[in-house]
Structure 1
Amino acid sequence: MKEISPKEVEHMLSDGADMNIIDVREAEEVAEGKIPGAVNIPLGLIEFRKQDLDRSKEYVLVCRSGGRSGRAAEYLEGQGYQVVNMTGGMLAWEGNTE
């Protein structure tokens, strides 16, 4: 499984990179703040929402600490999607939130 650090994501976003970020936390966690532009698909719904994802795009998966997003990344990778897990999750995120 590919991984990316929160700092790398922050730098890429500040450089204007077009990133597809999926936050797999529950809605009440996301309400406390998420990476700008991230789409919330809770881990329990990934299996049912995967058809909404484009296999030709790469997705950065985020959660609170990196565990749930790691499980989501393993699942989606096994389904043929291009995914990267953000290590440390939102606990390690120092950038802006919305």
Structure 2
Amino acid sequence: MKEISVTELKELIDKGENFQLIDVREPGEFQAANLGGELIPLATVPKNVEKFSKDKMVVVHCRSGKRSGDAIRFLETNFGYTNLYNLTGGILAYKTEIDPSLNP
């Protein structure tokens, strides 16, 4: 599984790169703090596969990296995705290294 660090993600955001950011946490977690990505809770990934782009880089994240890793494994195994990146450490790492004001 490919991974991306929070520093690399911040660089993509700052440069205005064309990529998709997907948050697989639950709606309450997303409402409390988010990185501006699209919310697709892990349990709904199987019925929302078409929302994951196959044409550009897709960064998938959750709180710590486990749920996003599960989503990526599912999509790679069952649908042949090759453009998915797991955010190492999830939003917790983003809070620690990039934006301490987040309250995930």
Counterpart mapping for 1:1-98 below 5 A? 1-36=1-36, 38-78=37-77, 79-81=79-81, 82-93=83-94, 94-95=98-99
1:41-85 Cα distance to aligned partner (Å, 9 max, x none): 000000000023332222100000000001111111121122100
How many percent of aligned residue pairs carry the same amino acid? 38
> Normalising by the residue count of structure 1, what TM-score does the alignment of the two structures yield?
0.89
Extract unaligned runs of 5+ from structure 1.
none
> Normalising by the residue count of structure 2, what TM-score does the alignment of the two structures yield?
0.85
- The aligned length equals 96
Extract unaligned runs of 5+ from structure 2.
none
Runs of 4+ in structure 1 over 3 Å off? none
Q: Where is the helix percentage greater, Structure 1 or Structure 2?
A: 2
